Amino acid sequence: MARVRKVRLDELEAPLVEPFETSFGVERRRRFLVVALEDDTGETGLGECVAARDPLYSGESVATARWMLQTYLIPRLLREELPTPEAFFAQARPLREHLMAKAAVEIALWDLHARRAGTSVARALGGTRSRVEVGVSVGIQPTVPQLVRRVGQYLDDGYRRIKVKVKPGWDREPVGALRREYPDLRLWADANQAYPPSAAREVAAWATEFQVEQLEQPFPERALSAHAEIARGAPFKVCLDESITSAEALDEALERHALTSLNVKPGRVGGLATGRAMGRRAAEAGFPAWVGGMLETGIGRSFNVALASTPPFVFPGDLSASDRYYREEFVDPAFELGPGSTLRVPTGRGLGVEVVERVYRKFLRRRREFRRSA
Ligand code: OSB
Ligand code: MG
């Protein structure tokens, strides 16, 4: 009978290459948890938790994820037989919410099971692509010319799709400037819920005028009717991110016509199995799904890239090269931008890349170990 014999809960903090500003705040350093499992054969599995230091993007934080993991999720893993990722998620269902904490374990279980089977997570998920198309998510910049310059650099790097963060007061001007400077740019805008539904007309006006291909989460997470209204007849896609917290939430949003595109972040929705199911539902409904990101290190990103290699994910993901996020990458090989604005899908066992111990140790702040009692 296979079991998890040891769980390590690490807390790390690493500076971002540049500050990442959104409608909800600025992140200069990223503080995050990593769950490391070890089974009774010594095989391991890693999962990066996407909860941020502060509960600004979602209600979860490093502290709530730590509490959930140490109090409920890790003790259960150490008591029972090794679950599949799906079984783990189903068993954890009575414990409400805390999807980021659950996802960290679910993802580590994908890694562990793929390693045990001698295969990659991409293959285990049913991935069919060897490279995935990607773009960059560009934070709010101090000035419009700085944004235009920053985007120009990313285009020079080879990125072919740019998502800009917008908010009231930082929208028509920066988006218009980008469109004038780069007439053919594939341009997306993400508001992270910053607009009241009453701003719909104004938001639709600049998104239309400047040929924004996709507008992400303009309104608050519960405002499905506002999203449905702006989507009706719009020349741009309306993408939901924060609103979609489960496969059931996605079904309801689809029924209410609240989206025409879907951002799937496995680390936010409870894991890769849920993320894959959501991608399939979006595809069945005839809408593009794509894999988002939460500024993960190469550890978390390798799983995101694996998910993006499966068929439903047809739009380019928020999955940039390592050097867009951290000066020193946590994995080897680092993710590099390749031809056609793509990243290579790792093919090695499990997550498919090696953790760089030196970098990992350098940014490690705290470690706790939990063992199965004999
Ligand atoms: O809304 O997509 C978002 C990062 C942190 C929190 C929320 C979001 C983002 C991003 C970054 O847009 C995407 C990436 O990791 O490149
Ligand atoms: Mg978003």
Domains in the chain, ordered, with CATH?
A: 4-118+355-371 (3.30.390.10), 124-344 (3.20.20.120)
Amino acid at 262: L
Which residue of 16, 20, 22 sits with most ligand 1 atoms within 8 Å of its CB, as the best mutation to test the pocket? 22
Name which residue sits closest to atom 13 of ligand 1, judged by CA: 293
Asked if 265 contacts 287 with a C-beta cutoff of 8 angstroms, the reply is no
| CB 155, CB 182: distance < 8 Å | yes
Ligand closest to the CA atom of residue 268: 1
Assign 3-state DSSP to the chain and report helix, strand, coil percentages, each to 5.
35, 25, 35
- Which residue positions in the chain have pLDDT lower than 50? none
For every residue of 240-294, DSSP letters joined together read ESTT--SHHHHHHHHHTT--SEEEE-HHHHTSHHHHHHHHHHHHHTT--EEE---
Say what the pLDDT of residue 213 is. Answer: 98
Q: What is the pLDDT of residue 373?
A: 86
CA–centroid distance, 253 to ligand 2, in Å, is 16
Q: Which atom of ligand 1 is nearest to the CA of 190?
A: 1
Task: Please choose, from the candidates 238, 298, 307, the residue with its C-alpha nearest in 3D space to the C-alpha of residue 266.
Answer: 307
In this structure, the residue with its CA closest to atom 8 of ligand 1 is: 294
3 CB contacts (<8 Å, ≥6 apart)? 39, 40, 80, 81, 82, 372
For residue 54, give the ligand nearest its CA: 1
Scan for tokens 């104004």, then name that residue. Answer: 202
Task: Answer for the pair 330, 359: CB distance below 8 angstroms, yes or no.
Answer: yes
Which atom of ligand 1 is the closest one to the Cα of 217?
1
Closest CA to 350 of 28, 138, 36, 52: 36
Q: How far is the CA of 318 from the centre of ligand 1 (A)?
A: 7
- Is 0.95 topped by the overall pTM? yes
Catalytic residue among 102, 163, 165, 237: 165
Ligand 1 contacts (CB < 6 A) are: 57, 137, 190, 192, 241, 292-295, 318, 320
Encoded amino acid at 209, one letter: E
Contact 42, 81 (CB under 8 A): no
The pLDDT of residue 79 is 94
Structure tokens at 32: 């995050």
Tell me if residue 265 is catalytic. yes
Q: Which of 30, 12, 8, 14 is nearest to 105 (CA)?
A: 8
DSSP-derived secondary structure for 295-312: S--HHHHHHHHHHHTSTT
User: Cα-flanking dihedrals φ and ψ of residue 364, to 5°?
Assistant: -75, 130
CA of 190 to the centre of ligand 2 (A): 6
First-last CA distance in the chain? 15
Q: Hey, whose CA ends up nearest to atom 4 of ligand 1?
A: 294
Q: Whose CA is nearest to atom 14 of ligand 1?
A: 293
Q: Using an 8 Å Cβ cutoff, are 102 and 73 in contact?
A: yes
pLDDT of residue 1: 77
Concerning whether 165 is annotated as a catalytic residue, the answer is yes
**Alpha-carbon span 133 to 150, nearest angstrom:** 20
In tens, the pLDDT along 94-152 reads 999 999 999 999 999 999 999 999 999 999 999 999 999 999 999 999 999 999 999 99
How many angstroms is it from 295 CA to the middle of ligand 1? 6
User: Nearest CA to 266 among 106, 27, 130, 60?
Assistant: 106
The per-residue pLDDT for 331 is 97
Task: Calculate the alpha carbon distances from 351 to 18, 188, 278, 304, 359 in Å.
Answer: 26, 29, 21, 10, 18
CA atoms within 13 A on the CB side of 275: 35
DSSP-derived 3-state class of residue 179: helix
Mutation test residue for ligand 1: of 150, 216, 295, the one with most atoms within 8 Å of CB: 295
**In angstroms, what is the span from residue 255 Cα to ligand 1's centroid?**
26
